[in-house]
Structures are given as C-alpha cells and as structure tokens.
Amino acid sequence: LWWEVVGIAVVLFLLSWCQSRWLPGSQSGSPLSHSIRSVMQKYLEDRGEVTFEKIFSQKLGEAPALLKHLEEAKPLVEFYEEIKKYEKLETEEERLARSREVFDTYIMKELLACSHPFSKSATEHVQGHLVKRHVPPDLFQPYIEEICQNLRGDVFQKFIESDKFTRFCQWKNVELNIHLTMNDFSVHRIIGRGGFGEVYGCRKADTGKMYAMKCLDKKRIKMKQGETLALNERIMLSLVSTGDCPFIVCMSYAFHTPDKLSFILDLMNGGDLHYHLSQHGVFSEADMRFYAAEIILGLEHMHNRFVVYRDLKPANILLDEHGHVRISDLGLACDFSKKKPHASVGTHGYMAPEVLQKGVAYDSSADWFSLGCMLFKLLRGHSPFRQHKTKDKHEIDRMTLTMAVELPDSFSPELRSLLEGLLQRDVNRRLGCLGRGAPARPVADGCPCPVCSPKLLDSDQELYRNFPLTISERWQQEVAETVFDTINAETDRMEARKKTKNKQLGHEEDYALGKDCIMHGYMSKMGNPFLTQWQRRYFYLFPNRLEWLGEGEWKKELRDAYREAQQLVQRVPKMKNKPRSPVVELSKVPLVQRGSANGL
C-alpha cells in the first residue's frame, strides 16, 4: 500500500500548489510589472514626467488628443481647441470675427445660463479688448490658464487611469526606442556643400516627411581636426531645437554610420539671402525690416538658451517656400551659460570689435553687432567695413575696430537709429545688450592640420558614441502632422470591435483597464488533476497572478476533488488490514465526464 499513500500525497501537493498559485487573489512572485504601460509609467514617474504640465506641453499630450473622451472635460477641450485656432489666425480682421464667435459661443452663452465656470476677471479682460476692437493673438490667454487649472486634479487623474494614458505610454515607448539609420530615409539630390560634407534632400520612410540631411565625412573631420566643431554643432542644435521658434533651421534627429555624421534638419528650398542679393540687387528698406524682425526673433530664441551664434551673415540666412527666413549652420555657435567665449571666430566684416580683440570675453552682444553689419549689406550691397571692395582681412578688422560708420542720407530716421544702435563699438551702449559688459579672458591657440588622409580608428568612433539623438518635440510634431491621427483612429476601431465581441461573449468589459494586465485572451487548462480533457477558458495575466473568467464550476470541482482526496488519506490507516476494492468510487462524476459511461 505504500505506493498508494505516496500517490495520494503527490496528488494533495499538486492540488494545494495549484490552489495557492492560480486562484484569484493569490499573491506570489515580484510585484514588478512587465507591461509597456507599467514600465513606461515607472520610467516617466522616476523622471518627474507624469504631471499635467509635462504631458500637456508635449505635442502628443495636448488636451484634444488625450482628454476629449472624458465627458466632464469635453466642453473645456472644445473651448481650448477654438482658442488655439484663433491664435493661429494671421490678420486682425480674421481674429476680430473669430473672437466674437468664440465669445458668443463659449462665454456669453454660459453667462446667460449662469453656468460659466471661469473667473470674472477673465471675462472682463476679453470684453474690454472686444469693445476697443483690439484683438491680439493672446486675447484668450486668461481662459487658457483657467482651462488648464480645471483640467488638473480629478480630470487628469481619470486620464492616468484610462486607456488613453496607455496609448500615450505606447507612443513614448516608440519615441525612446528610435534608432535611425540611412535605411530609414530616401536620399535625393545634393542641395548644398560645406567644408566637411554635403547636404541632401531626403524623405523619411515611415512618415513621408521631407527633410534636409547634412552629412559630415569623418575622414575630412579628422584630417582638419574638426571633431570638436562637429560635436559642438550637435549640442547647439539640440539646445535651440526645442520650443516654438520658426526662424531657426532646427534638428529633428542625429545619427552616424562608420563613415558619416548625419543631421536631419528642416528643409529650406528658397535659397539664401546672399544668393538673392547677388541675383536681384539690394533690398528695399521695407523688405529689410521684414527679414530683420524674423532674424531678431531667431536670435532671441538662441540667446534665451544662452547660445551666441557668432556667424551671422546673408549666406547663413535661408528662405523657405513661403519667403520666411531661418538662421542656419550652428557650427560656430557657443554656449555661454557657464563660461563666456573669447575666441576670434566668424566672418571678417561681420565680427564685433570684442570678438576681434584678443583676451576679451563676450556673450550675445556679438550677434547684435553682426546683425547691424548684415542689415547694412542687405541695403547697400557690402559690409560697412568692406568699402571699395577691399579683401584684406587685416584691413577689414582694423576698420571694424577704429572706423566710425557713415550712414547714407537716404536712410530713414528710424533706420539710422536702428543701425547706429546696433553698430556701437561700446557694448554698454549697443542696442540689445542691456548694458552688460564683457570681462577679459585668455585666447585659445589654433591647431595645425595634417596633410595625409587619416584612417578612422576605434578611438575615433568612440568620440561619436553619444552622437545619435532624437529631439522629442520635433519627433512628436512630425508624428502629429502625419500618422498620429490615422494610427489612433485605426486602433480605436480595433479596440471597439474587440470590446463588442467580448461583451457578446459575456466577458467583463474594461476589466483590465487601469491595471497592470500584461495580456488577456483564451487559453486551454486542465479541469482538475483527475481529468485528461482540456477546457477553453478566458484569462487575464498579471505580473503576479493568473485570473480565469467564468471558472466557478471548475473551482467547485477542484474543491470537491481536494476534499475527497483528503478523505482517502484519512481512511488509509483503517484500510491497512482490509482487502481493497480494485476501483475507488468517487461520490460524484467529474464535470467534463458527466453523461459518459466510462468514469475513472
């Protein structure tokens, strides 16, 4: 009888193991989640990214995309969308008409119904401007702030617990796992050349968006000892490519191959100001004012990030297909947040006096002097310090340091005031510098260039180990403009069909919503240890447990079998000296074999 006792003990062990491991509510294993939602949520929480401000400020996290499915947020989101449409209008006539529509629909209607959820000061602010017919783009800014305030708290918490946050985590997971190569782009013709390489037009394969691909040859970089310049350009582009600034050629991606460094930049196909100056002659004062305004906004964007450009000239100002300008080529730009630069770099005829002087440090003040030189050239065809077509660099530098600029009488008083303010040699008196002086610094010496063509070593490749980069904001904008709505709409349709099917099959709708469920679906399982037939059940797999749906009958059979096995063990000592029946009769036929004549 010993083998029967051992067999029953094994059965009891298996029953207790199954009961402790698989029944709902059991706790075993580590609580660490392996789902994308849980992993990404923990990753974002560790970096302080799961806040309303952080998510709401991202291109993929704006209110219309995330909060529109919440009933309590829908009126606020619709109001927010209308305000954003108003802010994009260009003419005052369009803004005046749209502002009255927005006011009547979303403000006056709620006021008459005594259900206006916003402050009295915001209403008075908008009413006062409408009475005066003064409609600036930020007219509804007080309402934007109050809408954001109302969307915080319970509404945002419901979003965190919804499947829309899971969708947001999936997009962030895609963003953080981008590893681009040349195969991700369709490269077209050359559109420009430089000292280290060429610029090509290209199309990104997955979204179809057009870019400019700036390729720098690693061998040429090594031969000219330009590693620092190449890496510095990537750093400067990463600094200025965040935030909303349409007047700088921004970078979206950076990657490298064994032979090339590649920058993926905004595509500009309207030529540069130097080309248009040489082809069409000098610009009018009105045209110059237009370009100057956009260039100033681009410079302010850089200076707010503590970046001094140092190479402002017509050849570096590109035009897009709409005629707007952007500042390009940040190879000589420098971060002055921790230490001010003191090297004499730039183009002769545009460099500020403090840049030319040895041992003098400077900051963004140098760009304002260069702006004055460039505007003068757009109007007169030459730099103010390159008269009579002189090409002697030392003579140009001497004139920059000593000569007083004479402005033609044809310039208007406003233009004369602008150029005189920008071309002040004294930094404390220069327009745009706010009286900030520049202390003295030592000068860096240059390095000679090798003559022979270099061979790239592993140590050379190590320099570019951290070169690959994806600008989050730029990638999100590209996705939002191309495939975001299409993919989300298709996913919503698939999820709706899946929910409808599950509801028809009797499954609990949205049971795993807001939980750390890794996967769910159908799976075959054994009814109990005494059966050989498998049953098809719907399951939910969590990191620390497996839950079965509709398993009431199976659990009852399992408990009955467990109880009868215990009774058998208790009867073993009494049956030692008694003859045993060859077949053990169970009190009840198992569920899956009822109606069968075979039994056990």
Residue 546, strand partner residues: 541
- Element of type H or E holding 216: strand 210-217
**Three-state SS at 430:** coil
Please check the confidence at residue 217 and state whether its pLDDT lies above 70: yes
- Determine how many CB atoms are found less than 10 A away from the CB of residue 155: 17
Average pLDDT over residues 309-329: 92
The reported pLDDT for the residue numbered 406 is: 85
The reported pLDDT for the residue numbered 231 is: 92
Average pLDDT over residues 560-579: 68
Enumerate the H helices of 47-198 as residue ranges.
52-56, 63-66, 74-87, 92-102, 109-112, 120-131, 141-151, 154-160, 163-176
pLDDT in tens, 432-486: 886 443 222 222 233 333 334 466 777 777 887 777 777 777 878 888 888 777 8
Q: Which tops the pLDDT comparison, 591 or 566?
A: 566
Token pair for residue 376?
A: 């003068």
Q: What string of DSSP letters covers 477-488?
A: HHHHHTTHHHHH
Return the domain boundaries, the chain.
31-57+162-177+472-509, 70-153, 182-447+457-470, 511-563
pLDDT in tens, 90-103: 788 889 999 999 88
**Three-state SS at 521:** strand
Q: Which tops the pLDDT comparison, 184 or 459?
A: 184
CATH code for the domain defined by 70-153: 1.10.167.10
Closest CA to 482 of 212, 207, 211: 207
The reported pLDDT for the residue numbered 3 is: 44
Architecture of the 511-563 domain: Roll (2.30)
Average pLDDT over residues 487-501: 78
H/E/C letters for each residue in 332-369? CCEECCCCCCCCCCCCCCCCCHHHHCCCECCCCHHHHH
The CA R_g of the chain, rounded to the nearest whole Å, is 36
- How far apart are the C-alpha atoms of 167 and 587, rounded to whole Å? 52
Residue 214 marked in a binding site: yes
Residue 204, strand partner residues: 185
- Most confident of the ranges 14-23, 88-97, 163-172, 486-495: 88-97
CA 48: distance to chain centroid? 15
Q: Which of 311, 329, 367, 397 is catalytic?
A: 311
Architecture of the 31-57+162-177+472-509 domain: Orthogonal Bundle (1.10)
Judge contact between 334 and 320, C-beta under 8 A: no
Average pLDDT over residues 66-71: 70
CATH code for the domain defined by 182-447+457-470: 1.10.510.10
Enumerate the H helices of 305-446 as residue ranges.
353-356, 365-380, 393-402, 413-422
Task: State the pLDDT confidence band at 582, using cuts at 50, 70 and 90.
Answer: low
The reported pLDDT for the residue numbered 198 is: 93
Average pLDDT over residues 225-232: 90
- Global pTM? 0.63
Please check the confidence at residue 249 and state whether its pLDDT lies above 70: yes
Residue with tokens 């491991």: 21
CA dihedral 248, 252, 258, 259 (to 10 degrees): -30
- Determine how many CB atoms are found less than 10 A away from the CB of residue 438: 22
Look up 485 and say whether it is catalytic.
Answer: no
Q: Are strands 307-308 and 534-542 parallel, antiparallel or unpaired?
A: unpaired
- How far apart are the C-alpha atoms of 290 and 483, rounded to whole Å? 35
How would you class 561 by CB atoms within 10 Å of its CB: exposed for 0-12, middle for 13-18, buried for 19 or more?
buried
- How far apart are the C-alpha atoms of 600 and 583, rounded to whole Å? 9
Q: pLDDT over 70 for what percent of the chain?
A: 77
Q: What is the mean pLDDT of the chain?
A: 78
Phi, psi of 154 (to 5 degrees): -65, -40
Residue 335, strand partner residues: 307
Judge contact between 28 and 20, C-beta under 8 A: yes
CA 112: distance to chain centroid? 41
Q: Which tops the pLDDT comparison, 560 or 247?
A: 247
Average pLDDT over residues 188-209: 90
Buried b or exposed e, range 82-121, using 16+ CB within 10 angstroms = bbeebbebeeeeebeebbeebbeebbeebeeeeebebeee
How would you class 169 by CB atoms within 10 Å of its CB: exposed for 0-12, middle for 13-18, buried for 19 or more?
buried
Ramachandran region, residue 462 (left: φ > 0; alpha: ψ -120 to 50; beta: rest): alpha
Token pair for residue 581?
A: 């029946």
DSSP tag of 470 = E
